[in-house]
Homo-oligomer: A and B are copies of this chain.
Amino acid sequence: MGAGLNATHDPALRSWVESANAADADFPVQNLPFAVFRRADTKEPCRGGVAIGDQVLDLGALHALAPFSGLAAEALGACAAPALNALMAQGPGAASALRAALSGALRSGAAAAARLRSLLIPQAQVQYQLPASIGDFTDFYASIHHATAVGRLFRPDSPLLPNYKWVPIAYHGRASSVRVSGFDFPRPHGQLMPAGASVPQLAPARRLDYELEVGIFVGRGNELGTPIALKHAEEHVFGLCLLNDWSARDIQAWEYQPLGPFLAKNFATSISPWVVTLEALEPFRVPFTRPAQEPAPLGYLDDAAVRAGGAIDIRLEAWLDTQKMRTVGAPPQRLSHSSFRDSWWSVAQMLTHHAVNGCNLSPGDLIGSGTQSGPAADEAGSLLELTAGGRQALTLANGEQRTFLEDGDRVTLRGWCERAGFARVGFGAVSGTVLPARTA
Chain A interface (Cβ within 8 Å of chain B)? 135-136, 138, 141, 151, 161, 163, 166-167, 169-177, 179, 185-186, 188-191, 193, 199-202, 205, 224-225, 227, 248, 251, 254-263, 266-268, 295, 298-300, 353-354, 356-362, 365, 438
Query: Is there an interface contact between A266 and B359, defined as CB atoms closer than 8 Å?
Result: yes
**Measured CA separation A172–B360 after assembly (Å):** 16
Our pick among B175, B186, B188 for the contact of A136 (Cβ within 8 Å) is: B175
Interface pairs (16), CB distance under 8 Å: A135-B175, A151-B258, A161-B258, A167-B191, A167-B255, A169-B262, A170-B259, A171-B260, A171-B262, A177-B359, A179-B224, A185-B224, A201-B298, A259-B260, A259-B261, A266-B357
- What B residues does A358 contact at CB under 8 A? 185-186, 188-189, 267-268, 438
- What B residues does A163 contact at CB under 8 A? 193, 200, 254-255, 257
- Top 8 nearest A-B pairs (CB, nearest first) are A260-B260, A188-B357, A172-B172, A171-B259, A259-B260, A267-B357, A263-B357, A266-B359
**Measured CA separation A268–B360 after assembly (Å):** 10
- What B residues does A361 contact at CB under 8 A? 176
Query: Is there an interface contact between A177 and B268, defined as CB atoms closer than 8 Å?
Result: no
- What B residues does A268 contact at CB under 8 A? 224, 358
Known: A185-B358, A188-B358, A267-B357. A135 touches B176 (CB 8 A): yes
Query: Is there an interface contact between B135 and A259, defined as CB atoms closer than 8 Å?
Result: no
**Measured CA separation A298–B161 after assembly (Å):** 34
Query: Is there an interface contact between B260 and A438, defined as CB atoms closer than 8 Å?
Result: no
Known: A191-B166, A225-B186. A172 touches B357 (CB 8 A): no
The residue on B at minimum CB distance from A248 is: B357
A383 CB to closest chain B CB, in angstroms?
Answer: 19
**Measured CA separation A275–B299 after assembly (Å):** 43
The residue on B at minimum CB distance from A258 is: B161
Additional pairs, 4, CB under 8 Å, beyond known A171-B259, A172-B173, A185-B358: A151-B258, A189-B357, A202-B298, A266-B357
Our pick among B185, B191, B200, B224 for the contact of A225 (Cβ within 8 Å) is: B185
A341 CB to closest chain B CB, in angstroms?
Answer: 23
**Measured CA separation A82–B117 after assembly (Å):** 43
Query: Is there an interface contact between A225 and B438, defined as CB atoms closer than 8 Å?
Result: yes
A76 CB to closest chain B CB, in angstroms?
Answer: 27
The residue on B at minimum CB distance from A437 is: B358
The residue on B at minimum CB distance from A150 is: B258
Known: A174-B136, A298-B201. A356 touches B190 (CB 8 A): yes
A231 CB to closest chain B CB, in angstroms?
Answer: 13
Query: Is there an interface contact between B356 and A266, defined as CB atoms closer than 8 Å?
Result: no
**Measured CA separation A174–B174 after assembly (Å):** 10
Query: Is there an interface contact between A255 and B172, defined as CB atoms closer than 8 Å?
Result: no
Query: Is there an interface contact between A189 and B298, defined as CB atoms closer than 8 Å?
Result: no
- What B residues does A186 contact at CB under 8 A? 225, 358
- What B residues does A255 contact at CB under 8 A? 163, 167, 169
Query: Is there an interface contact between B174 and A141, defined as CB atoms closer than 8 Å?
Result: no
Query: Is there an interface contact between B258 and A189, defined as CB atoms closer than 8 Å?
Result: no
- What B residues does A359 contact at CB under 8 A? 174, 176-177, 263, 266-267
**Measured CA separation A200–B259 after assembly (Å):** 22
Query: Is there an interface contact between A258 and B260, defined as CB atoms closer than 8 Å?
Result: yes
| Best-surrounded residue of A151, A261, A361 (most CB of chain B within 10 A) | A261
A263 CB to closest chain B CB, in angstroms?
Answer: 5
The residue on B at minimum CB distance from A201 is: B298
